[in-house]
Amino acid sequence: MHIEELDIYRLRVPLRTPYRLSFGPVDAFDTVLIEMRDRHGHRGIGEATYLTGYTDETIVDSWALVQRLGHEYAGLEAGNILLRLQPHFIPAPFTATAFNTALEMAAGHPLLSVEQPVRAPVLGLLNAKESAAIETESLQLLARGFTTFKIKVGFDAAKDAAMVKRIQKIVNGRARLRLDANQGYSRDDACRFVRSLDPEGIELFEQPCAAGDWEAACAVARISPVPLMLDESIYGIDDIRRAAELNAARYIKVKLMKLGGLDRLARAIDTIRDCGMEPVLGNGVACEIGCWMEACIARGRINNAGEMNGFLKPMSPLLERPLKFDHGAIVLEPGYRPVLNSAALASCTLERFSFGA
């Protein structure tokens, strides 16, 4: 496959509601899209959405790299592009993923081929903190078909614990609860938090401490009454195996943008299971391209609610045919291929460059 043309977009995608995280609220996605076309008209789109505090890659440095690689790769064979991408998978995984998945889609990767309608359940985000608002938002999420709720903690261990108790009482078993601290706690605070938990209805507790603090993760896992999941600590196969060896978690969350491509992601999911742990898949900070690809990978591989709900957060879709959502699930339809909506892109594009052979 010979890449004749390559377009790159830097987007600032406004969100309906600020996404509240322990390291600060997010009111827009900083997204880069790569669109490739070969001489036969086959197209592929790759996405990278950068989140300061989650990845070491910044939008400014990454956009400079994307421009350089776009100029270099236009006119090359796909195999040559992939060879030149190799040095970037470790220092710049999000950027490398955008280029690699654009190639994989353009080549008609079988993991993206859907032959019959498939539903990929995703979780809903419960933002409310106080009782009345929790009741209202819970009913809204249940009405939309969500059966697993994500609750952001990692702010103040005592206040977070009290909030979780309120939510457990109000939800009353109508949905599973997934707690996520986004590295927000110290080791001591995380231990205090888990000691206060009643495990009833709680599916798991995600990434309590800093990504590189494996000792803290193990300390919390030893005393926690609910299973732990690692997310920010996991960037590849070595991290998955380390988590298993240390008994640091029962669940491991993986995301396409961190793993480098469709085949790499599928191998990581297989490795998690081979190591005796359970995989969770999905990116809550991603637009439609990334979420669609993760939903395709989830078929037959993931047995719990996916976290690929980022596409529900922006104010407007970026695609001609928006990714279909119905009663708590992404609906994958036979023959579906994303096509960018030029008018929607124009409203949130900060910069765009085109490169030709």
Domain CATH number, residue 56: 3.30.390.10
pLDDT score of 347 more than 70? yes
Same domain, 163 and 135: yes
List Cα–Cα distances, 273 to 49, 206, 226, 249, 300, in angstroms: 27, 18, 19, 13, 13
For the whole model, what pTM was predicted? 0.95
Same domain, 200 and 289: yes
Same domain, 270 and 180: yes
The pLDDT assigned to 55 comes to 83
Q: Which helix (H) or strand (E) holds 42?
A: none
Same domain, 327 and 348: no
Same domain, 184 and 315: yes
Same domain, 149 and 71: no
The pLDDT assigned to 357 comes to 67
Can you give the residue range of the structural domain that contains 43? Answer: 3-109+341-356
Same domain, 105 and 220: no
Domains of the chain: total: 2
At 142-185, the pLDDT tens digits run 999 999 999 999 999 999 999 999 999 999 999 999 999 999 99
Same domain, 163 and 206: yes
Domain CATH number, residue 309: 3.20.20.120
Query: Do residues 15 and 28 make contact, with C-beta atoms less than 8 angstroms apart?
Result: yes
Same domain, 138 and 253: yes
Q: What is the average pLDDT across 47-67?
A: 93
The mean predicted confidence, pLDDT, of the chain is 95
At 9-45, the pLDDT tens digits run 999 999 998 887 767 789 999 999 999 999 898 999 9
The pLDDT assigned to 299 comes to 92
At 233-274, the pLDDT tens digits run 999 999 999 999 999 999 999 999 999 999 999 999 999 999
pLDDT score of 106 more than 80? yes
Same domain, 257 and 204: yes
Same domain, 137 and 78: no
Same domain, 169 and 246: yes
Q: What is the average pLDDT across 296-324?
A: 95
| Distance in angstroms (rounded) separating the CA atoms of residues 200 and 206 | 16
Residues of the chain with pLDDT > 90: what percent? 92
The pLDDT assigned to 52 comes to 81
